[in-house]
Structure 1
Amino acid sequence: MMGIVFGIVVGLALGLTGGGGSIFAVPLLIYGLDVAPASAVAISLGAVAITAAFGAAEGLYRGVVELRAALIFAVAGMLAAPLGVYIGGRVSDTLVVLSFAALMAVVAVRMGLKARRRPDESRVVRARLSAEAEGDAGTVCHYSNDGRLRLNAPCSAALAGVGLVVGVLSGFFGVGGGFLIVPALILITEMGIHRAVATSLLVITLIGLSGLGSAAVSGREIDWALTGLFVIGGVLGMFSGRVLARYLAGATLQFVFAVAMLATAAFIVVERLVVGA
């Protein structure tokens, strides 16, 4: 049942951080459940994608997902995710794990800086979509008078370009990519943080499923029972986050997650280069 327990941890992290929480999935699978790195990446892709789908469904129901922007981003990512899976299958487990540790460190630093510089945004989480999301707007990919996002060629090209990068990283590392998707949406379209977080959930779902499918087709060993338990825990964690978000979300929680990421990254490096040497 540790699969459910660890899934709850990932669901809470995914729900409460607004981006980057799913990055705990792979280390928990490798070091907590003794899953091989290649299989852990595949299981993580599936679990995070399905967990994110529940939040995406709420966002779509409430009309706070920029559907066309999400689809451009996601289609590019879905096309690139198999490449990330392919590359991950051609390098050593040690390189994959150490690269993952470096990614965790980068995400942790970014999360800590964001909590310090923009503490108000730290309360915007995936677990509970704010009513303020309906009022978010954008100016780079301009909104028309009727409130629709006008996706001109430069805007669409930028979304697709970043989608390709996120797709490769998701396929290689088994992460949702929210830590890249949310700031990219805000930068490219300047949509508000609430709407960007809601939109990113749909992107994570589609790219993650593409990566999982590619891993399965490529012959990676995937424990589907464990994946199911991880999904159950992730959904429970996400819905628990809905209750906890109003009390816990904020800069302090972001710092806690950032420190936990750095500590996990340091553990991975020590385990691989010192203990495993």
Structure 2
Amino acid sequence: MLLGFTLGAAVGAVLGLTGAGGGVLAVPALVLGLGLSLPEAAPIALVAVGGAAAMGCIAGLRRGLVRYRAAALMAAVGALCAPLGMWLAHHLPVRVLIVAFCAVMVVIAVRMLRQAGAAGRAADDAHAEHNCMINRLTGRFRWNLRCSATLAGIGATAGLFTGMLGVGGGFLIVPAFRQFSDLTMQASAATSLAVIALVSSATVAGSLAAGASLAPSAWAFIAGTAGGMFAGRLTAARLPWQWLQRIFAWTVLAVAAALFARHFV
């Protein structure tokens, strides 16, 4: 129980600090730390990450950081695509899922390292044209077909991975916001948490309806994740974002290597 709580707290802290990555670390933590299989770990990770994300989302809403219309669109499309991911998870061999998971982790880590090393991003964003642009007078997106299609595509991809691998999708959403919109880092993280909470809730409901259940150790992990999220959100504003990205990226690479080694070496 204590190990589950500790692992959950670490995952929640990452989610709170970055607005992303909690899910991609939750599944390996459950597999490597508690000895669960990937199908067993996925619903637990979704409950833990989804609940913690909801806490962060509420805080973001209070501060006016969440782009709730964008989050609603992405979550709706993601919830529609998540069942396809769940179907794939039940019909693909576990080793294939592990390889896919490790590949996703490596892509995430490399992307985050590149972003952390990019100089002058904030200055470039002031003049760059993105698919989704914020109206500086209202603080909301300027909605058009290109922006709607971009957000729907991000939501669909996040939902597919949520259903297939039991991850919240924040590892895709935050980098995608940074790539295709001019949202600030804080708004990107807060909106990502809203999408994670909504899509995870829908996917968990589907898993429970299909007969999934949670053991006592799973609830300890979930409680730890909630506590870690709270601590991470309090600390995030005090730490340099690039520093956090680098630490998270190297952690993801190390976890991916350990997960791959456990199943193939």
Q: TM-score scaled by structure 1? A: 0.84
**Contact 1:119/1:250 (<8 A) preserved:** no
Q: Does residue 1:234 correspond to 2:235, yes or no?
A: no
Structure 1 regions of 5+ residues with no counterpart?
Answer: 122-137
- The 1:201/1:173 distance shift into structure 2, 3 A limit, reads same
**Contact 1:120/1:250 (<8 A) preserved:** no
Q: Does residue 1:163 correspond to 2:155, yes or no?
A: yes
Query: Residue 208 of structure 1 corresponds to which residue in structure 2?
Result: 200
Query: Residue 10 of structure 2 corresponds to which residue in structure 1?
Result: 9
Q: Offset at 1:74? A: 0.8
Mean Cα displacement is larger for which, 192-201 or 73-82?
Answer: 192-201
Matches within 5 A, 1:235-250: 235-250=226-241
**Deviations along 1:249-271, whole A, 9 cap, x unmatched?**
44334323222221221122222
Query: Residue 144 of structure 2 corresponds to which residue in structure 1?
Result: 152
AA aligned to 2:192 is S
Query: Residue 170 of structure 2 corresponds to which residue in structure 1?
Result: 178
Q: Offset at 1:37? A: 1.1
Q: Offset at 1:142? A: 4.3
* Whole-Å separation in 2 of the counterparts to 1:111 and 1:158: 20
* Whole-Å separation in 1 of the counterparts to 2:131 and 2:181: 5
**Contact 2:12/2:226 (<8 A) preserved:** yes
Q: Offset at 1:164? A: 0.8
* Whole-Å separation in 1 of the counterparts to 2:98 and 2:131: 37
Q: Offset at 1:211? A: 1.6
Q: Offset at 1:246? A: 4.8
Structure 2 regions of 5+ residues with no counterpart?
Answer: 123-128
* Whole-Å separation in 2 of the counterparts to 1:92 and 1:227: 24
Between the aligned residues of both structures, percent identity stands at 39
- The 1:246/1:139 distance shift into structure 2, 3 A limit, reads closer
**Contact 1:8/1:233 (<8 A) preserved:** yes
* Whole-Å separation in 1 of the counterparts to 2:109 and 2:150: 25
Query: Residue 266 of structure 1 corresponds to which residue in structure 2?
Result: 257
* Whole-Å separation in 2 of the counterparts to 1:86 and 1:190: 35
AA aligned to 1:169 is F
- The 1:141/1:266 distance shift into structure 2, 3 A limit, reads closer
**Deviations along 1:193-221, whole A, 9 cap, x unmatched?**
221111111001011112212222233x4
Mean Cα displacement is larger for which, 210-219 or 74-83?
Answer: 210-219
AA aligned to 1:218 is A
**Contact 2:44/2:218 (<8 A) preserved:** yes
Q: Offset at 1:184? A: 2.1
Q: Does residue 1:67 correspond to 2:59, yes or no?
A: no
AA aligned to 1:41 is A
Q: Offset at 1:62? A: 1.9
Query: Residue 242 of structure 2 corresponds to which residue in structure 1?
Result: 251
- The 1:252/1:49 distance shift into structure 2, 3 A limit, reads same
Q: Offset at 1:20? A: 1.9
* Whole-Å separation in 1 of the counterparts to 2:95 and 2:120: 36
Query: Residue 126 of structure 1 corresponds to which residue in structure 2?
Result: none
Query: Residue 38 of structure 1 corresponds to which residue in structure 2?
Result: 39
AA aligned to 2:26 is A
* Whole-Å separation in 1 of the counterparts to 2:167 and 2:75: 14
Q: Offset at 1:119? A: 8.7
Mean Cα displacement is larger for which, 149-158 or 88-97?
Answer: 149-158
**Contact 1:98/1:268 (<8 A) preserved:** no
**Contact 2:85/2:160 (<8 A) preserved:** yes
Query: Residue 21 of structure 2 corresponds to which residue in structure 1?
Result: 20
Q: Offset at 1:7? A: 0.7
**Contact 1:82/1:215 (<8 A) preserved:** no
Q: Offset at 1:140? A: 4.1
* Whole-Å separation in 2 of the counterparts to 1:146 and 1:252: 31
AA aligned to 1:197 is A
* Whole-Å separation in 2 of the counterparts to 1:225 and 1:198: 30
Say which SS state the counterpart of residue 268 (structure 1) adopts.
helix
**Contact 2:19/2:189 (<8 A) preserved:** yes
AA aligned to 1:215 is S
